[in-house]
Structure 1
């Protein structure tokens, strides 16, 4: 099992040391409300500025921190990625001294009632959601690996999960540029700006309706499509051409190409995508687009053939339970 950098997790003292450094960085951020720079964190940890910057960027990607301003100041996020506020799960004096007329909170019931918790976290989930309930075959992990080896760029597999797009698998190698602030769970508020999400949206009437109903879409860069007519036209183009492209729409300096993965019943189940620096994309956009198209087409054909050969179908009622985060399968990341 490997982490995002290609460092083996099991049985590796280095991985434990890296985890400790990340926790130290998190504590240091928490003690500096005015923010810190990579250079300052490097001095604190006794590391180079490059190593400190890597730690900070990782914390940003996972939702624990944010970067502000051209000077590269990093601050702790307003709250942890799982919600609430920092330390919000701890009992406080105020909670102890609550009015006697207040209803006591059934804490154990909240913990045990997973269905209610899931609905609270995903208020836009539909009980009959036909998109997020496919069980993705293991062969799609091979497709992500194939796309990575063909392009040598970061490759992703994503699926819809209630009210967000979730990256369930990824490939890359250490030193390969990452899209800043891209997290494993991509909310609807960002779906208009990324190819990996536009590929899903354009091929699902349910998700498209949800996205087009959003208002006040943020402009992440000067090229972000924010208007409803503009986004509707973009999604129509994706359906015509079979691929979604974002040209520095989410982050300056990064482009992405994505394609839908249709289940054997013809409905979209996932999307596969590759990201690259804008300079590389300007030179190799056709090759990257062709690679995404080819790998997606092969993955869908193999899925159909497997279903035909086994006589079984990956029906939406067979919801996957093991695709909650990026998989770490495939060859070692170099």
Structure 2
């Protein structure tokens, strides 16, 4: 009898772990333990237990801010490699650096590197869909998703500064990015801050971007040179062709 009860508990736990994994795949931008607990109708302790079980079996990752995401081995390896590049780019360029990826329908901020004195867009969430049209790293990703762009971005497009692009302007800009392989934002999200970004498409089809943020004055003087330099930092095996 006790053995049957134990088996029943094990099966119930396994089912709950699978439910959590399904939740993570439905929300590739990530979920917190509190959000998982609400979806399950369970305690926060149970949510942490189930999420940690997935981490131990290498099915999930815990990111900064306590956000859990499903682990896709190839994408995770590419993001990890790009984080190393971004960390080095920050040190060499003295600009805050960013790594962004496309996870399902979510444009996700994977990492940022920089110190307090380096400028960069403020108030960014992990999920960048609402601001992607105004950020170089967002446009670098959006440029290569084809007709799905309207499904990923809000309607109407939020206007953050007088320079924020409209839909028509955005379409023209995405065409330029596809042609030239580099994205810019010129005070489109935040006045006084500009960014450059390189779109990356790995061999497995993953879409990512590596970007730098810098003050407007430095961008006017060095923006094109920094874009060329940043492109050369990306490993050839993951560089956009």
Match of 1:275 among 208, 213, 217: 213
- CA 1:153–1:139 in structure 2 vs 1: closer, same or farther (change >3 Å)? same
Q: Please say if 1:151 is aligned against 2:90.
A: no
Matches within 5 A, 1:105-254: 113-115=19-21, 117-118=23-24, 121=27, 134-137=75-78, 138-186=80-128, 188-205=129-146, 207-211=148-152, 214-227=154-167, 229-254=168-193
Matches within 5 A, 1:1-334: 113-115=19-21, 117-118=23-24, 121=27, 134-137=75-78, 138-186=80-128, 188-205=129-146, 207-211=148-152, 214-227=154-167, 229-265=168-204, 267-296=205-234, 299=235, 301-303=236-238
Structure label with greater radius of gyration: 1
- CA 1:136–1:172 in structure 2 vs 1: closer, same or farther (change >3 Å)? same
Q: How many equivalent residue pairs?
A: 182
Give the TM-score normalised by structure 2: 0.65
| Residue in 2 that maps onto 1:323 | none
Q: Which has the higher helix share?
A: 2
- Does the 8 Å contact 2:140/2:182 carry over to 1? yes
- CA 1:170–1:119 in structure 2 vs 1: closer, same or farther (change >3 Å)? closer
After superposition, give the CA deviation of every residue in 1:206-247 in whole Å (9 maximum; x if it has no partner): 6435246x42111100010122x2211110010011001010
- CA 1:122–1:146 in structure 2 vs 1: closer, same or farther (change >3 Å)? closer
C-alpha distance in 2, partners of 1:191/1:303? 22
- Does the 8 Å contact 1:200/1:268 carry over to 2? no
Compare relative contact order (CA 8 Å, sep 6+) and give the higher one, 1 or 2: 1
Q: Which moved more, 1:136-145 or 1:253-262?
A: 136-145
C-alpha distance in 2, partners of 1:235/1:288? 20
Give the TM-score normalised by structure 1: 0.48
C-alpha distance in 2, partners of 1:268/1:176? 29
Q: Which has the higher strand share?
A: 2
- Does the 8 Å contact 1:139/1:303 carry over to 2? no
RMSD (Å), alpha carbons: 2.9
- CA 1:172–1:207 in structure 2 vs 1: closer, same or farther (change >3 Å)? farther
Q: Structure 2: which 5+ runs fail to align? A: 1-14, 30-71
C-alpha distance in 2, partners of 1:290/1:122? 31
